[in-house]
Structure 1
Amino acid sequence: MSSLSTIVIGTGIIGIATAYYLAKNHGQTRITLIDRDQPMAFTSAQSGENYRNWWPHPAMVAFTNRSTDLMEEIARDSGNRINMNRRGYALATREKNIDELVGQLHDGLGDSAKNMLRYHSHRRSDTYVPFDSPDWEGMPDGVDIIQNQALIRDRFPGYDPEIQTIIQIRRGGDISGQQLGMYMLDYLKSVGVKRVVGEVRNITQQGGYQVKVANSSGSETLVADQVVNAAGPFADKIAKMLGVDLPVYNTFQQKIAFEDRRGAIPRTMPFSIDLDGQKIDWSDEERDMLLEDPDFAWLAGDMPGAIHCRPDGGDAGKWVKLGWAYNETPAKATWEQQLDSNFPDIVLRGATRLNPALKSYYGQLPRNMHHYGGWYTMTEENWPLIGRMGPERSFMNCAMSGFGTMAACAAGELCAATIAETELPDYASDFSLARYDNAQLMTTLRAANKGVL
């Protein structure tokens, strides 16, 4: 297989990781990467850059654990060029009864749950390991469940005092997704992998693949033995060129980042998610105005949970990121960002419920605030599609929803192993199109919450 030539369509982190592991693990270096823009310039540039191994299904737990293993390997080999830390995910709720959440943890962790779930109901807990250090090495795995409000106030002093429960996923944190991609690109360049800037307009088969690419100079046709569809929100468009209908759709999600000049968010705070639904903190006058406008009345009603916040830039940094993936409306992907000018105020006010100190920014977000967004490409069950795509020697690595950065290494490794026809991990079939023939699995997935974070 080492003599086969490959075209990878898409130079987001998923396409780059696919090429990286195809070259690194299998010696296939006759690779051409195609994208209409520079690497990591579109969806990957909008990543929240978080990672975790928290999922309500063992296949996703194994998948993201493997991806974290590979990221740790890169962090060690590169002197932590990717700025990996391990402050975890903190899931906060005002509920004391968390049986449903614990059930999801058991579903994901299986038999290991009894050893990996640690309960803390007392003010002092000898088994609770603080997260004061960002070092990803030496931090515990598993999950800490804290249900003592004094301990919560001590360890999470900025949170809403009404919080009753913290579920802290310990194998989680954040990385620099851009540096992860650049590390891989440096390797690919060293082994002779080529890049072509241009937009794929057509793909035909005739003893291989002919990929027509348009750019500012006109058009050219590239030829390869095999092709990989890693086109992110345009994966369905690329698939249709080969007569394949992928079961995917896109939603546009937004975030903001700003300089926290007032120190509202502690630099040691982990990636924090308010699980509870809410009504946004509008004044009575503002709420009445919203209710009078049919286009905005929804903002005065019940909003979903899962708003999230984290410090950005490490302990010495000053920026914070806020996100709220409440948009569930499918839309056709475009190259232009579909930004809502009201989003910064919406997400800020929503985030103050968990972090009340952020109220000091009402109407006063810094001028250098960055408002950005990207497409979440996903399947109905919110699992990725990795493997054979249909026509002989055509492959896919797509539908990463909001978890592309954290899954990139394992996704690239899996896709590369499929291309090279070598041994595959146990979860390989679950992430391929073959899962749609597994009625039991699909029933389980469709009954689960999709939860995009």
Structure 2
Amino acid sequence: MTNPTAEVVICGAGIAGVAAAYYLGKKGLKDIVIVEQGDPLSLTSDKSTEAYRNWWPGPDGHMIALMNRSIELLEAIARESSNRIHLNRRGYLYATADAGKIPMLAQAALDAAQKGAGALRVHSHSHSSYRPSPAQGFDPWLEGTDLISDPTLIQQHFPYLNPGTRAVLHVRRAGWLSAQQLGMYLLEQARESGVRLVRGQVVGVDLKGGAVASVQVRRADGLTDSIHTSIFINAAGPMQKQVGQLLGVELPVFAERHLKMSFSETLGAIPREAPMLIWMDETELPWSPEERAVLAEEESTRWLLGKLPSGVHCRPDGPGASTTLLVLYNLHTEPVEPVFPLPPDPHYAEVALRGLSVMVPGLQRYFEKAPKPWIDGGYYLKTQENRPLIGPLPVKGGYIIGALSGFGVMAACAAGELLAAHVTGAALPGYAPAFLLSRYQSPAYQARLQNWGDTAQL
């Protein structure tokens, strides 16, 4: 290594680490090293739905404020890059066949509006002012939520949904983008500010007088380099807990395995201009009597006959003539130790397709001859209440940007900007204390965790 010193060393070149480097560079820091064992953005950042939303139910508005800021930054990047990141604002469409959920949806939307997510508009008759989202671009006037409870209006705008759908909630400041293009844009800009990418694995952090003094990096050839620095940032994604232990810090985080399926949806059951679609109801997978009999024979498959949780969701993917559909339906969210490559799930593709077909019956045409699926995924590294950790660690010079769960792509810009403010001593936004590790030292916060409510995870 030609330069064994750095102002800042960042562990991890996922979207969080790259965003931290980018915003530190914008604050004027030049000598920044990102240490990454593999390719940038290749561990989990490129395996998400690449979506964003400012719809964050919760006991306060801090997550909404963080996401609103991140969306502002994403839109600024889209404008200055001629929308290289392919940002749209098609929205998230939450759908239910249970009319009893309508008051709950309305109340959740009113609560979110009071916390900064935008106004609720209710459409209970077919002659309403509801307008669909454009397929491309990001109309800044699309904010808040639209609650549609008129079946005729639902079928008019979303004829592919289950005909029994009784309500949809369209979250408008939401959509998706290219996570890979966003990450590469941030990394390219950071490199122009002097950021260096070093291939290797962080295997140690040396302290002197209780403060960060150097970082030990094992190269691919097995040799170890020492980078002298006074600032170390843990942006190690699913390996964040282990990297925290190098500083003697036990982080209150755990990992969940989340898979994603994509396939070529050539029959056009879901229009290419559709928003993100989320089914809010518990689901019984549609099986034929013969299939049910076979599944009932084995203990390992009998669970496929019962009621499964809500939350199956999908979106179209790809430009132009693409027919790719992304589908996510994660039923097993118990904490696990991250293992790469991810262990296979033999039932995932079938469960995801059949679960989604309850919301979009046109997909049942694939049951007899399903197209070949592509399955990948990663790990959600999360806290108990599903909020990130952004800020200083209890070791001088140590910082963290992580526990970004399934919202790393959408939160990365605001999280990177916030971390850079912590590192440089700049003014902090009002939501900053909500994401500090030190929040867990408050007895009042610990008590609040017992009745936290909706963590807004998909």
Q: Which residue of 2 aligns with 1:49?
A: 50
Alpha-carbon distance in structure 2 between the residues aligned to 1:335 and 1:111: 39
SS class of match (1:429):
helix
Alpha-carbon distance in structure 2 between the residues aligned to 1:143 and 1:421: 37
Partner of residue 208 from structure 1, selected from 212, 232, 242? 212
Deviations 1:283-315 (A, max 9, x none): 223233333322222222111101001111145
Q: Which residue of 2 aligns with 1:409?
A: 413
SS class of match (1:209):
strand
* Structure 1 runs not aligned, ≥5 long: none
**Contact kept in structure 2, 1:268 and 1:315, CA below 8 Å:** no
The answer on 1:218 being equivalent to 2:219 is: no
The answer on 1:360 being equivalent to 2:365 is: yes
Alpha-carbon distance in structure 1 between the residues aligned to 2:431 and 2:206: 31
SS class of match (2:159):
coil
Deviations 1:26-78 (A, max 9, x none): 10121100111010011102111000000113111111111000000000000
Q: Shift in Å at residue 138 of structure 1? A: 4.3
Amino acid at match of 2:32: I
Q: Shift in Å at residue 335 of structure 1? A: 2.3
1:363–1:245 distance in 2 versus 1, CA, 3 Å: farther
Alpha-carbon distance in structure 2 between the residues aligned to 1:109 and 1:43: 32
Deviations 1:242-301 (A, max 9, x none): 111101000111111111111121011100000111111122232333333222222221
Matched pairs, number: 447
1:181–1:340 distance in 2 versus 1, CA, 3 Å: same
Stretch moving more, 287-296 or 27-36: 287-296
**Contact kept in structure 1, 2:295 and 2:301, CA below 8 Å:** yes
Alpha-carbon distance in structure 2 between the residues aligned to 1:288 and 1:451: 36
SS class of match (2:46):
helix
The answer on 1:390 being equivalent to 2:391 is: no
Q: Which residue of 2 aligns with 1:82?
A: 85
Tell me the percent identity.
37
Q: Which residue of 2 aligns with 1:11?
A: 13
Q: How does 1:300-379 map to 2 (within 5 A)?
A: 300-314=305-319, 316-367=321-372, 369-379=373-383
SS class of match (1:330):
coil
**Contact kept in structure 1, 2:64 and 2:116, CA below 8 Å:** no
1:142–1:395 distance in 2 versus 1, CA, 3 Å: same
Q: Which residue of 1 aligns with 2:62?
A: 59
Q: Shift in Å at residue 416 of structure 1? A: 1.0
Q: How does 1:80-119 map to 2 (within 5 A)?
A: 80-97=83-100, 98-110=102-114, 116-119=119-122
Alpha-carbon distance in structure 2 between the residues aligned to 1:86 and 1:183: 20
Q: Which residue of 2 aligns with 1:124?
A: 127
Q: Which residue of 2 aligns with 1:179?
A: 181
**Contact kept in structure 1, 2:317 and 2:326, CA below 8 Å:** yes
Deviations 1:340-384 (A, max 9, x none): 1221111000000011111122243333x3211110111111111
1:52–1:112 distance in 2 versus 1, CA, 3 Å: closer
**Contact kept in structure 1, 2:264 and 2:324, CA below 8 Å:** yes
**Contact kept in structure 1, 2:96 and 2:280, CA below 8 Å:** yes
Alpha-carbon distance in structure 1 between the residues aligned to 2:388 and 2:140: 30
Amino acid at match of 1:67: S
**Contact kept in structure 2, 1:198 and 1:213, CA below 8 Å:** yes
**Contact kept in structure 2, 1:203 and 1:242, CA below 8 Å:** yes
Alpha-carbon distance in structure 2 between the residues aligned to 1:112 and 1:333: 35
Alpha-carbon distance in structure 2 between the residues aligned to 1:75 and 1:108: 26
**Contact kept in structure 2, 1:291 and 1:300, CA below 8 Å:** yes
**Contact kept in structure 2, 1:226 and 1:394, CA below 8 Å:** yes
Alpha-carbon distance in structure 1 between the residues aligned to 2:92 and 2:450: 25
Amino acid at match of 1:382: N
Amino acid at match of 1:281: P
Q: Which residue of 2 aligns with 1:163?
A: 165
Alpha-carbon distance in structure 1 between the residues aligned to 2:55 and 2:227: 41
Q: Which residue of 1 aligns with 2:29?
A: 28
Stretch moving more, 93-102 or 347-356: 93-102
**What is the Cα-based RMSD across aligned positions, in Å?**
1.8
**Contact kept in structure 1, 2:357 and 2:364, CA below 8 Å:** yes
Q: Which residue of 2 aligns with 1:243?
A: 248
Alpha-carbon distance in structure 2 between the residues aligned to 1:78 and 1:323: 30
**Contact kept in structure 2, 1:325 and 1:452, CA below 8 Å:** no
**Contact kept in structure 1, 2:135 and 2:274, CA below 8 Å:** no
Amino acid at match of 2:323: K
* Structure 2 runs not aligned, ≥5 long: none
**Contact kept in structure 2, 1:61 and 1:109, CA below 8 Å:** no
**Contact kept in structure 2, 1:381 and 1:446, CA below 8 Å:** no
**Contact kept in structure 2, 1:44 and 1:405, CA below 8 Å:** yes
Stretch moving more, 204-213 or 241-250: 204-213
Amino acid at match of 2:18: I
Q: Which residue of 1 aligns with 2:260?
A: 255
Deviations 1:170-205 (A, max 9, x none): 000000000000001111111221111111222221
Q: Which residue of 1 aligns with 2:282?
A: 277
Q: Which residue of 2 aligns with 1:39?
A: 40
Stretch moving more, 193-202 or 357-366: 357-366
**Contact kept in structure 1, 2:113 and 2:144, CA below 8 Å:** no
Normalised to the residue count of structure 2, the TM-score between the two structures is 0.94
Stretch moving more, 428-437 or 43-52: 428-437
Amino acid at match of 1:50: A
